Amino acid sequence: MEYAFFEDQIVPVEEAKISIKTNSFHYGTCVFEGIRAYWNEEEGQLYILFAREHYQRMIDNCRAMFMELRYTVDDLINITKEILVKSQIREDVYIRPIAYFKDLALTPKLTGFTPTVAIYLYRFGRYLDTSKGARVKVSSWRRNDDNSIPSRWKVSGAYVNSALAKTEALLSGYDEAILLNQNGFVAEGSGENIFLVRNKKLITPSYSEHILEGITRAAVIKLAKNELMLEVEERPVARSELYVADEIFLTGTAAEITPVVEVDDRKINGGEVGPITRELQELYFNAVRGKIERYKGWLTPVYEK
Ligand code: PMP
C-alpha cells in the first residue's frame, strides 16, 4: 500500500483528499517542492537527493507566503522517510510536498489562514528524455517577473506561466519551452534551469534573471568546477547566444540533466549530445545513486542498515 502525509498524519494515499472549497486550490497559493529518491540496487538502499535543501527552500518560500509551518526541516525529512519505508519503496521515486491554506474561504489573501503540509509519492520515470536530447522553442510567453509572481519561489500560481509555455511548445512539435524574462534575456525552461557551453566554459543566467534558484543548478555548478575544472559564468544570457552555443542542457530535479540538441530549429552540436553535457550527466547520475563517495553528503539514506 502507498502512504501519504496529510493533515498531520500518515494515511493511505487514497484517504488524502481536500475539499473543493480549499482556499489555495482557488488562488494558486500553494508552495511545493519536487524531490527525487534514487534506488541503489547493490547497496539495497534508497537515497533521497538534497532532502535538506529542498525542505529548506520550501520553508523559506512558505515564510515569504505567510505560511508558518509547524514542522522543521528535520521533521519533514523524517516524515518523508517514514512514508517511503511504510510504502516499501524499492525503486526510483518522486516526492511531492505541498503546503497550502486549508481554510474554506473565498478571499485571495495570505494572512489569517491555517497552513498545512501534505507529502505524497509519484512515479515519474523520465520527465524529459535525458539520453537523446530535447528540441526546444523560445516561448512567446515571458517568464513571470519578480514584481508580479516571483519566479524565485516555487508557488503553484506561477506554474500557469510554465503550463502556457510548455503547452505552446508541445503543440508546435517541440519537447520543451525556453522562457525569456521581461527584459528579453533568457530565464529558464518551464520546469528547468538552463546552461550553455561556449569555448569549454559553462554559462547560466544569474539569480537576478527571474529564475528559480534551482538545487540541481547549484549541484551542476559544483560538479563542473570541482570535477571538470570548468569556469562557470553566471550572467545575463541573450536569446541569440543560444543559437551559437557549443552545447546546451537543462537541469532540474525531474529533468535531471537533459541535453538540448535543437533551439528554434537550429541544431546545437550538430544535433548530438555534446561531450561536456555527457560528462556532467555521468557524474550526476553516479552521484545521485550514491556511487561517488565524496558526494554521499547530498543523500539521505531511507532504510536503516
Ligand atoms: N525552474 C523551474 C521553473 C522549475 O520548476 C524547476 C523545478 N523545480 C527548476 C527550475 C529546477 O529546480 P530544481 O533543480 O531545484 O529542481
Domain that holds residue 7: 3-122
Q: What is the CATH number of the domain that holds 242?
A: 3.20.10.10
- Identify the active-site residue in 102, 154, 166, 225: 154
Average pLDDT of the chain, as a whole number: 97
Residue 296, domain member (yes or no) = no
154 is catalytic: yes
pLDDT tens profile 191-248: 999 999 999 999 999 999 999 999 999 999 999 999 999 999 999 999 999 999 999 9
Ligand 1: lining residues by beta carbon, under 6 Å: 34, 162, 188, 191-193, 212, 214-217, 251-253
pLDDT cut 90: percent of the chain above it: 96
Three-state DSSP class for residue 155: strand
Q: Which of 52, 195, 211, 212 for mutating ligand 1's site (highest number of atoms within 8 Å of CB)?
A: 212
Together in a domain, 152 and 239: yes
Q: How confident is the model at residue 264 (pLDDT cuts 50, 70, 90)?
A: very high
265 assigned to some structural domain: yes
pLDDT tens-place string over residues 158-197: 999 999 999 999 999 999 999 999 999 999 999 999 999 9
Ligand 1 atom with least separation from CA of 219? 14
How many domains is the chain built from? 2
**Using an 8 Å Cβ cutoff, are 257 and 281 in contact?**
yes
- 141 and 245 part of one domain: yes
Contact indicator for 251, 34 with CB cutoff of 8 Å? no
- CA–CA gap between residue 131 and residue 129 (Å, rounded): 6
Task: Report, as an integer, the average pLDDT of 149-163.
Answer: 98
pLDDT at 105: 94
Residues with Cβ within 8 Å of residue 75, at least 6 apart in sequence: none
Reported as a pLDDT band with limits 50, 70 and 90, residue 16 is: very high
The answer, yes or no, to whether residue 129 has pLDDT greater than 90, is no
Distance 253 CA to ligand 1 centre (A): 7
Report how far Cα 202 is from the mean position of its chain's Cα atoms: 20
Task: Say how many Å lie between the CA of residue 305 and the centre of ligand 1.
Answer: 32
Interface TM-score (ipTM) > 0.90: yes
